Chain A
Amino acid sequence: MLTFANSLFLFALAGLAVPVILHLINRELAVDLKFPSVRFIGKARLPRREKRRLRDLLLLLLRLALFAAVVLAFAQPIWISPQASLAEDRQLRQTVYVVDASSSMAGDNAWTDAVSAVEAEVSGRADEQAGLVVFADRILVQVEPSDLTAAVGEGLSRVEPTYAAGSPALALENAVRLFHPDAERRLVVVSDFQETDWQTDLPGIPRGVELVLLPVSESPGPNTGIVRVNVLPIGNNLARIMVSLRNYGDRKVETRVSLAGPGIAQEKTSGLEGGQLSTVSFEVDASESRPMRVSLPDDGYERDNAWHFWVSPPPIIRVLAFLPHLDEPEAIQGFYFLQTALEVESETDWIRFDVTAVDRGFFQESMLETAEVMVFPATGAYFKDEQWDYLRSFLEEGGTALMMPGVSFPKFYRNLQTRGFMQSRFIGLAGNTNERHEPSHFGQISPNSGLADVFAREAAKDLYLVNVYRYVRLHFLGEETKLLSFENGDPALLSLPVGKGNLYVSTFAFDPSWTDLPLRNSFLPLVRELMEEGFDLDRQRNRLYVEEAAPLLAEEMDRPGTLEVEEKLWEINVNPSESTLARVDTGQWLPSVLTGEPIQVAQASVPAPWGATGGKDKHLWPWFLMFALAALFVESLWVGLADPVKSLRPEKVVKNG
């Protein structure tokens, strides 16, 4: 039996009438030609046209066949063998179950309810084929629709809710592609329809697919979860543990917060209004590193009731300073001020720096892996092309770098601009070392930066009294963040984001010939805050969510907990994004979204051409296409070679005169 995959194309066959009509109304007309003299040109009857007619008729038939073959090829004819045809007479019904296995499904018995709902549906529809798609942030299980409905139950039994957020769009697209195009299609979606997962770009379900939404855990119980835990040193070998809690329900709850660790057990009670965030703090001994756990009593969603962390200082931040030639003593002096400021240790600040000076000739790609921060006191002017590339890749990976001017400062700033690190344009040098010259002062700190917190109110006085004798003037274009600026608005310190990292550019050297800043109290907090601001402390502390990519710890990352691997401390916790109780409206909003723009069902859902599907269905479009190409070839030959009269005929009326 012959059938067509795109039968609408068959309407194009009506176009066959056009050439026939043209052929019928087309008569051989004489071409007008202005000729010098018609004196010797006798009248003659036009040639007998029987031969031409026959030739034209054959040509017409060939062209009609060519057109028809192209149309039929587009219509995708399929030859179905009689046996297969008989089998298809029985209407095929298919149901694909899309089941949510995101982390939120672990609460309020949602997963058990979902499995029961699917099993009940499958058993109630024994005469249908059933398929399955289980999803979280990826497809976990996929079962193609078949008469073996037990495969659905088996597929469900293989999985349990993951710790990841859900990505229903991917699952819906996959599920729709599982349907046979000629089947009666039914799509059943089983989920808690949590707002954070479902309020995303969702694909439309094609027309003809019956959509059934089966919500589970529609009225979840109260949920209070831990959002974050921060550990801060407070001196005397003590640390303060700040636990941030959130009540996801709409009623006030009293909750008990328990802190447990080796030799430590503390408990506190906190009252949280509905939807509110609150902080509970504990003080613990921090004389040695120890893993700890904060927990809450069981509620509807248990996974966010515990937080694992280490009470220990974060790893030392390694700083590499690439020094220029020794004939630039100012730069080297600036480096020593910087080193002194960074290596200061404090009981109330766990962040420590280890500063190493390296000759600039050692600035190689291999050095990038050994440091978190790079300092270039007047070194940038001497970079080669590949060294700029090293710096860029270092920053893009999340590194921090600080650059200052030196002897060759014009070249250095022009390089920064031409290599795309900085938009601001180098103008020249402001001020000089002459004592009679009025020094410049800082005028403004960017209110959005961490510096604004450090130098708030009284603390800023010393900073504003700093004398800057000379600095490099830049035409600021506003593309960068001006962390610190002079009274006249000229930038003093720029923050240039590059990839995940940050490049800080100072317009003056940290040297007494440029400024007295290194000799002032503001220098230390300024430098340390600068270094810490461009830093992801969570990354430094190895804080991850369950199932986040971490190559070294692939297996251990499956569960929350604390780990120590190769002297590195890891904190693995549950992503709080799945804790919310908010659900989308499955009555009107979600169906209206899902029945909007249909998913384009890929060709892969129909059998491959050339009868590669076991011989039942045979796709004929390649044959039609080949026939069309052959006909086109013959037609071209016929017109071009076998019809010299036609080829001689001018395209348009020739007029001489």
Chain B
Amino acid sequence: MATAYQELLDPDYLSRIDNYLLMAKGAVEGFLSGMHRSVFHGFGTEFLQYRNYVPGEDLKYLDWKVYAKRDQLVTKVFQEETSMNVYFVVDASASHDYQGERAACSKLRYACMIAASLAYLASRQGDNIALFAYQDSIVEAIEPGHRSGQLLRFLQALARLRPAGGADHDGLLQSITHHMRNRGLVIYLSDMLEAEKSLPRQLRALRFRHCDCLAIQVLDPDERDLPHAYPVRYVDSETEADVTTFADTIRTQYRASMDAYQGTLKSAFRHAQVEYLSLLTTDHLGHALGKYLNKREAIA
């Protein structure tokens, strides 16, 4: 039922669920049930369960004894032995409060939904999850762990977030670097506005801490095409700078600038060897979940 799980990942649907745990569970389970085969159990050394063999899988995991006894091909599934730290870094600056008419939720809410879903997935796989939310300074910090209640604390912290102030990307990344002692994965969620030069460089530095990074940019559709058909005085959410203009006349130029900016950002991340994903708040969460799983599998 592809349609059903697509709907479950629709932000318009998910944003109506206030409880992040329910939301994340719904999104993740919906996403996984939509996959044709579940290959995301770990292949460590601790035996977890059997499952039917799917053509294409590595033959080294086939249980030959079972084949000999029952003439049935089954694969052994193992519990990951070495859990990994997954750091979620969420930008909660004032610019994330924006919600255009086409979007079902604000940018921050969308970023939190992604963080919640990925954290749920990571927690389900036995990884340690950590959260750092920041504005001008860090506003929420949860150290990595997978004790019982870790996910709940994580989600409660997300629920407490309110967009305000500016975004001090450099300060944040410098201050959290010393928390990253073990190998891990950093999920960075931000609109990355006005940071296309510094941010890829900063995230690259995480690699020296044995941390891989997935940078997810969250934008509102309005930021892509400036759809307003009436004169508007645009006031910058963070700096309060204002520009009075008529979007119809500058739309082409604006789009070109945005494309150039995103091109620059993409290129910079590629050079920094940081995975980059740009999402609009109208995109369904499957993009982020799929990207994360690919990344996680690659690291494993």
A438 to B280, CA, bound (A): 97
> B245's contact among A32, A34, A44, A656, by CB below 8 Å, is which?
A44
Q: Dominant SS at the A interface? A: loop
Within 8 Å of chain A (Cβ to Cβ): is B81? no
A42 touches B237 (CB 8 A): no
Give chain B nearest CB distance to A52 CB in angstroms: 11
Give chain A nearest CB distance to B263 CB in angstroms: 13
Q: Name the A residues within 8 Å of B226 (CB-CB).
A: 41
Give chain A nearest CB distance to B214 CB in angstroms: 22
B248 touches A47 (CB 8 A): yes
A39 touches B193 (CB 8 A): yes
Give chain A nearest CB distance to B227 CB in angstroms: 9
> B234's contact among A38, A47, A649, by CB below 8 Å, is which?
A38
Give chain A nearest CB distance to B265 CB in angstroms: 13
List 14 additional A-B contacts (Cβ < 8 Å) besides A40-B261, A46-B231.
A36-B223, A36-B237, A37-B238, A41-B234, A41-B250, A43-B245, A46-B246, A648-B229, A649-B229, A649-B230, A656-B97, A656-B237, A657-B97, A657-B235
**5 tightest A-B contacts by CB?**
A36-B95, A40-B257, A30-B231, A44-B245, A35-B234
Within 8 A of B (CB), among A189-208: none
B238-267 interface code vs A (CB 8 A; 1 in, 0 out): 100111111011100110011001000000
B98 touches A47 (CB 8 A): no
Within 8 Å of chain B (Cβ to Cβ): is A454? no
Q: Name the A residues within 8 Å of B97 (CB-CB).
A: 34, 656-657
A22-38 interface code vs B (CB 8 A; 1 in, 0 out): 00000011111111111
> A35's contact among B98, B248, B250, B261, by CB below 8 Å, is which?
B98
Q: Name the B residues within 8 Å of A39 (CB-CB).
A: 193-194, 257
Q: Name the A residues within 8 Å of B246 (CB-CB).
A: 44-47
Within 8 Å of chain A (Cβ to Cβ): is B16? no
Within 8 A of A (CB), among B94-148: 94-99, 107
Question: Which residue of A is nearest B241, CB measured?
Answer: A38
Within 8 A of B (CB), among A630-657: 644-645, 648-649, 656-657
Within 8 Å of chain A (Cβ to Cβ): is B228? yes
Give chain B nearest CB distance to A130 CB in angstroms: 71
Which of A30, A35, A38, A656 neighbours the largest number of chain B CB atoms within 10 Å of its CB?
Answer: A35
Question: Which residue of B is nearest A35, CB measured?
Answer: B234
A38 to B223, CA, bound (A): 10
Which of B194, B245, B257 neighbours the largest number of chain A CB atoms within 10 Å of its CB?
Answer: B245
Within 8 Å of chain A (Cβ to Cβ): is B236? yes
Within 8 A of B (CB), among A39-69: 39-47
Within 8 Å of chain A (Cβ to Cβ): is B232? yes
Given the known interface contacts A30-B232, A34-B97, A35-B98, the answer about A43 and B193 at a Cβ–Cβ threshold of 8 Å is: no
A36 touches B243 (CB 8 A): no
Q: Dominant SS at the B interface? A: mixed
A42 to B253, CA, bound (A): 8
Q: Name the A residues within 8 Å of B222 (CB-CB).
A: 35
Within 8 Å of chain A (Cβ to Cβ): is B220? yes
Within 8 A of A (CB), among B157-198: 163, 191, 193-194
Q: Name the A residues within 8 Å of B223 (CB-CB).
A: 35-37
Give chain A nearest CB distance to B100 CB in angstroms: 9
Give chain B nearest CB distance to A484 CB in angstroms: 74
Q: Name the B residues within 8 Å of A37 (CB-CB).
A: 95, 191, 193-194, 223, 236-238
A36 touches B220 (CB 8 A): yes
B243 touches A33 (CB 8 A): no
Given the known interface contacts A31-B230, A44-B249, A645-B229, the answer about A36 and B98 at a Cβ–Cβ threshold of 8 Å is: yes
Q: Name the B residues within 8 Å of A43 (CB-CB).
A: 243-245
Within 8 Å of chain A (Cβ to Cβ): is B36? no
Q: Name the B residues within 8 Å of A34 (CB-CB).
A: 97-98, 235-237
Give chain A nearest CB distance to B197 CB in angstroms: 13
Q: Range of interface residues on chain A? A: 20 to 34
Q: Name the B residues within 8 Å of A38 (CB-CB).
A: 234-236, 241-243
Which of A28, A33, A648, A649 neighbours the largest number of chain B CB atoms within 10 Å of its CB?
Answer: A33
Within 8 Å of chain A (Cβ to Cβ): is B233? yes
A35 touches B236 (CB 8 A): yes
Q: Name the B residues within 8 Å of A32 (CB-CB).
A: 232-233, 235
Question: Which residue of B is nearest A648, CB measured?
Answer: B229
B258 touches A41 (CB 8 A): no
A249 to B235, CA, bound (A): 98
Given the known interface contacts A32-B235, A36-B98, A656-B98, the answer about A41 and B230 at a Cβ–Cβ threshold of 8 Å is: no
> B94's contact among A45, A47, A657, by CB below 8 Å, is which?
A657
A30 to B247, CA, bound (A): 11
Q: Name the B residues within 8 Å of A40 (CB-CB).
A: 254, 257-258, 261
Q: Name the B residues within 8 Å of A649 (CB-CB).
A: 229-230
A33 touches B234 (CB 8 A): yes
A655 to B97, CA, bound (A): 10
Q: Name the A residues within 8 Å of B94 (CB-CB).
A: 657
Q: Name the B residues within 8 Å of A30 (CB-CB).
A: 230-233, 244
Q: Name the A residues within 8 Å of B163 (CB-CB).
A: 657
Give chain B nearest CB distance to A561 CB in angstroms: 90
Q: Name the B residues within 8 Å of A644 (CB-CB).
A: 229
Give chain A nearest CB distance to B217 CB in angstroms: 12
A42 touches B254 (CB 8 A): yes
A657 touches B237 (CB 8 A): yes
Q: Name the A residues within 8 Å of B250 (CB-CB).
A: 41-42, 44
Give chain B nearest CB distance to A570 CB in angstroms: 84
Give chain A nearest CB distance to B162 CB in angstroms: 11
A47 to B261, CA, bound (A): 27
A33 touches B233 (CB 8 A): yes
Given the known interface contacts A35-B98, A43-B244, A657-B94, the answer about A648 and B236 at a Cβ–Cβ threshold of 8 Å is: no
25 A-B contact pairs sorted by A residue (CB < 8 Å):
A30-B231, A30-B244, A31-B233, A32-B233, A34-B97, A34-B236, A35-B222, A37-B95, A37-B237, A37-B238, A38-B241, A39-B193, A40-B258, A41-B234, A41-B245, A42-B250, A42-B254, A44-B249, A45-B249, A46-B246, A47-B248, A645-B230, A649-B229, A649-B230, A656-B98
Within 8 A of A (CB), among B201-238: 220, 222-223, 226, 228-238
Which of B97, B244, B258 neighbours the largest number of chain A CB atoms within 10 Å of its CB?
Answer: B244
Give chain A nearest CB distance to B258 CB in angstroms: 6
Given the known interface contacts A36-B237, A644-B229, the answer about A41 and B254 at a Cβ–Cβ threshold of 8 Å is: yes
Question: Which residue of A is nearest B95, CB measured?
Answer: A36
Give chain A nearest CB distance to B72 CB in angstroms: 57
> B231's contact among A29, A35, A42, A656, by CB below 8 Å, is which?
A29
A36 touches B232 (CB 8 A): no
A31 to B233, CA, bound (A): 6
A32 to B230, CA, bound (A): 11
A656 to B98, CA, bound (A): 6
Q: Name the A residues within 8 Å of B107 (CB-CB).
A: 36
Q: Name the A residues within 8 Å of B238 (CB-CB).
A: 37
> A656's contact among B99, B242, B243, by CB below 8 Å, is which?
B99
Give chain A nearest CB distance to B213 CB in angstroms: 23
